[in-house]
Amino acid sequence: MRKALILTRNFPPYVNGDASRVLKIAANLPGIGWEAVVVAPPVIAGFEASLPAAAGRALEVHRTGPGIDASKLEAAELNALLHGREVAALRPIAARLAGLFRDGHDGAEWQKEAAVLVEKLLAEHPEIDMLYAQGPPLEPLMLALETAGKHHLTVVLDITAPLDPAMPGPGASASSHAAQAEERIVLSGVPMTTTTRALKEYFLKKYIGRLDHGSMTIVPPSFDAPRRAFRQPDSREGEGAMRIALLVDDLPKADLKEAIAGLEAWVKTDGIKAGEVELVPFGIGVDELVRSTGKGILKPMLAISAGSIGDQLGQCRQSDLFCALMGRTVPNACTIPDRLVDVLGMGLPLCAVLPDGPASKLVAEAGGATAPAGDAAAIAEMFRNLRAAWRSRTLRGAPAELAGRYAAGTVIHELTRAIATQHVC
């Protein structure tokens, strides 16, 4: 079978949405004729390095460096690391004191190690005829373009969010390294995949007249249906404590303040006591959520989830409701959280606090509830109504037909459209 070389800085044991996405794509590539060879970041010592969404399917994974010792990290630093963020505490102390390392050091190190590894793998595997690279961050995409041109390979770039963190609007000019790199990548003429129509339109508007509409194929987020986690959950409606899985984004301060205010108002108004509701938060924003709740009424209700993707899926499956807390940012208005689609596949009832966009539309289509980010009153009312529905046993998950559209085995075939339009670099 032909092989595809996947370049990514996000891969388990990392737990962010991009790590989930690239893992599912790698595991399901055989369905469209390729076996995956993955160039991934180092493992994190003390965390399982298994591949939860690829159960029963062998993946060839090569790491760009030795395992990372995270034993001395604080909880917030470890959470940041697991979500693909750079952690200053992992840099040599002499370098930190001297200020020799700037932001992006981890990316430069990954690219340096990955470039050597890529050449070695291409020499060892002549059957590799495609490169698939995911970003942001930028380095896998840039390395893929360089490698494809050098070795005359088919290449597909998977772009899951704006590549320039400043995210300037259409018509704005910028001269930063990230802005220049995004322009080079997006206008390279190489076929690209992206997660939603809204994200595709973001790029088309930003590069109006310069980016061809047909150069981007939409490959939606997916859930890996064969996994045990995606059995229909056992019904617990109205029994014991109401358990709510909370995906907490890196919320702007104002949005986090309003989300906490909404939750507190709901708890006070409904007279909810400790033990009647359990909140299970996970995500990059968990530590700030916990810090901001202080010793308030939400504190006894918080049950911090374990770190791995498999643990997160297990915690979701044991919950009565899934809620995504997302801030008013450009990516959140253009994308759908990967974990939201996972719980869609589990049949869990959904709700979300987020801006208008594809994620809010998906929750509504699934029969779930939404509240605008930054609106404490609406957030309180949403949870009040959801708890009433839970107690009356009327909470329902998404229709099976809708969930089926996001099964990985179905979604992976969208990738063939991007490959079919490909030319060899």
- Asked whether residue 413 is domain-assigned, the answer is yes
**Each residue of 314-341: pLDDT tens digit?**
899 899 999 999 999 999 999 999 999 9
- Asked whether residue 195 is domain-assigned, the answer is yes
Number of structural domains found in the chain: 2
Minimum mean pLDDT range among 30-44, 117-131, 171-185: 171-185
Same domain, yes or no, for 11 and 124?
yes
Same domain, yes or no, for 34 and 122?
yes
Q: How far is CA 99 from CA 76, 105, 192, 223, 399, in A?
A: 22, 12, 37, 42, 54
- Asked whether residue 425 is domain-assigned, the answer is no
As a whole number of angstroms, the distance between CA 320 and CA 338 comes to 19
As a whole number of angstroms, the distance between CA 268 and CA 263 comes to 9
Query: Of the segments 165-179, 225-239, 356-370, which one has the largest average pLDDT value?
Result: 356-370
- Tell me the two tokens of residue 156: 């597909």
Q: CB within 8 A of 273, min separation 6: which ones? A: none
**pLDDT given for residue 142 in this prediction:** 95
Q: Is the pLDDT of residue 91 over 80?
A: no
Domain harbouring 246, CATH code: 3.40.50.2000
Same domain, yes or no, for 201 and 233?
no
The amino acid that residue 112 corresponds to is K
Of 293 and 49, which is predicted with more confidence? 293
Read off the pLDDT band of 345 (50, 70, 90): very high
- Asked whether residue 263 is domain-assigned, the answer is yes
Read off the pLDDT band of 108 (50, 70, 90): confident
Read off the pLDDT band of 282 (50, 70, 90): very high
Read off the pLDDT band of 308 (50, 70, 90): confident
- Asked whether residue 308 is domain-assigned, the answer is yes
Minimum mean pLDDT range among 173-177, 258-262, 375-379: 173-177
**pLDDT given for residue 98 in this prediction:** 46
**pLDDT given for residue 306 in this prediction:** 64
Read off the pLDDT band of 230 (50, 70, 90): low
Same domain, yes or no, for 54 and 170?
yes
- Asked whether residue 353 is domain-assigned, the answer is yes
Same domain, yes or no, for 100 and 247?
no
**pLDDT given for residue 55 in this prediction:** 44
Q: Is the pLDDT of residue 95 over 80?
A: no
Same domain, yes or no, for 65 and 105?
yes
pTM: 0.90
**pLDDT given for residue 86 in this prediction:** 86
Same domain, yes or no, for 248 and 149?
no
Q: What is the separation of C-alpha 52 from the centre of its chain, rounded to a whole number of angstroms?
A: 15
**Each residue of 289-300: pLDDT tens digit?**
999 998 899 999
Q: CB within 8 A of 247, min separation 6: which ones? A: 281, 282, 283, 322, 323, 324, 325, 337, 339, 340
Same domain, yes or no, for 256 and 182?
no
Q: Structural domain of residue 63, as residue ranges? A: 2-222+408-420
Same domain, yes or no, for 174 and 232?
no
Same domain, yes or no, for 261 and 212?
no
As a whole number of angstroms, the distance between CA 259 and CA 262 comes to 5
Phi-psi category of residue 243: left, alpha or beta, with phi > 0 → left and psi -120 to 50 → alpha: beta
Q: Is the pLDDT of residue 51 over 80?
A: no
Q: Which one, of 164, 182, 140, 188, lies nearest residue 22 by Cα?
A: 140
As a whole number of angstroms, the distance between CA 146 and CA 366 comes to 42
**pLDDT given for residue 199 in this prediction:** 96
**Each residue of 379-397: pLDDT tens digit?**
999 999 999 999 999 999 9
Same domain, yes or no, for 285 and 148?
no
Q: Is the pLDDT of residue 404 over 60?
A: yes
- Asked whether residue 336 is domain-assigned, the answer is yes
Same domain, yes or no, for 157 and 182?
yes
Determine the average pLDDT of the residues in 240-259.
95
Q: How far is CA 353 from CA 31, 370, 386, in A?
A: 35, 6, 13
Q: Is the pLDDT of residue 234 over 60?
A: no
